[in-house]
Amino acid sequence: MERLVLDRPMRIAQIAPLYESVPPQFYGGTERVVSYLTEELVAMGHEVTLFASGDSHTSARLISSCRRALRLDSSCVDQLACHYQMLENVMERVHEFEILHFHVDYLHFPFSRRCAVPHLTTLHGRLNIPELAPLYRTFMDVPLASISLNQRKPLPWANWIGNVYHGLPAPAVRIASGGKDYLAFIGRIAREKRVDRAIEIAVKSGMPLKIAAKVDPSDREYYEREIKPLLHHPLVEYIGEISEEQKTNFLGDAYAQIFPIDWPEPFGLCMIEAMSVGTPTIAFDCGSVSEVLRDGVSGYIVNDVEHAIDAVPKVASHPAHARRPPQGSAQRCGQRESLLSRRRRALKVCQVFWGVQSPVPLGRNRKIQD
């Protein structure tokens, strides 16, 4: 299947959210993954067009519907309007492509279901929202790809045709010094991310905690009321958002990453980012965690704060702390080598593309999985 796709380059449209640039300047897991995939598809010889914000950087052809990432553009009032302008741009050019790959949740469904060109939607978010079930039942014919099997649980009957885990580009796989004795929290400060748990774990373990995270407007009140008072502890340092360049050293120099989530995380890109630099992750067993991490190998999977605190001293004897060359880090600090491979992910996505062009009867999920 993979050989067939590689033998014939495809004309592919990648349709990204406009909230962040591709790749993002700071936080933005979906846009970063879209960038990784786009660049790898171009390197494989495919003709790729990226629909994204105007400040994106790509080796593909870029078509933009807004000047810059919407989250960073204070002049943008209606973000949805920009997305619908982008979808209209896609449909005006639909004859140019053999496959449309959407990363914008369900916004395009009324357009794409009436489109003759094969299309695939990779879902990057949570699906346990009550209003989503009737929506996806209405659009049962839309082909979907998941980023973990756990992500599918709220909608097991949906038109899933593939499951493809995220991967990282090879240049990112390197071991940092590991000389600093701090716990790391990275991502965003939101109720479901539970940075309060990370603070409690650090304080009770007697270890410094560095927090590299953004605060969205919707989470500002939660931050001000519940999290900001906790940041005054001498062991806690709030850094704010960091760039991709800063992330490698931030995670690689950490004693361990704390991933104390309290929601059905669809994937959790920071877990494989920590793997790639040889840093173990102490993660709460929610969402995709047990698919991405292997307990005792890529870190420790726990169920509560007490077990997380118990796991902290175990990290000192973890194989990753030997800080050996990066060739061994994937085996010692990852569930599978494939979770660190951007090329393998691109091959899997191409396999799903091929499946989209060979439709099966509605309701029979194809079994294309990582």
User: Residues 202-236: pLDDT tens digits?
Assistant: 999 999 999 999 999 899 999 999 999 999 999 99
Which amino acid type is present at position 247? K
Q: DSSP alpha helices (H): ranges in 185-267?
A: 195-205, 220-222, 244-252
- Equal fold, 2-167+341-356 vs 171-340: yes
The DSSP symbol for 295 reads B
Quick one: pLDDT band at residue 354, thresholds 50, 70, 90?
low
Local confidence band at 28 (pLDDT 50, 70, 90 cut-offs): confident
Task: Judge if the upstream peptide bond of residue 156 is cis by omega within 30 degrees of 0.
Answer: no
What pLDDT, on the 0 to 100 scale, is given for residue 341?
Answer: 65
For residue 369, the 8-state DSSP code is: B
The fold for domain 2-167+341-356 equals: Rossmann fold (3.40.50)
Bridging pattern class, strands 281-284 and 256-259: parallel
Q: What is the mean pLDDT of residues 61-90?
A: 92
What lies within 8 Å, CB to CB, of 74 at 6+ separation is none
Is the confidence at residue 129, as pLDDT, over 60?
yes
Give the domain ranges of the chain: 2-167+341-356, 171-340
Residue 107 CA to residue 207 CA, distance in Å, equals: 44
| pLDDT, average across residues 291-310 | 94
Identify the helix (H) or strand (E) that includes residue 347. helix 342-356
Identify the architecture of domain 171-340 in CATH: 3-Layer(aba) Sandwich (3.40)
* Contact between residue 110 and residue 142 where contact means Cβ atoms under 8 Å apart: no
Lowest mean pLDDT among 40-44, 112-116, 197-201, 318-322: 318-322
CB 63 within 8 A of CB 51: yes
Calpha distance 82→124 (Å, rounded): 20
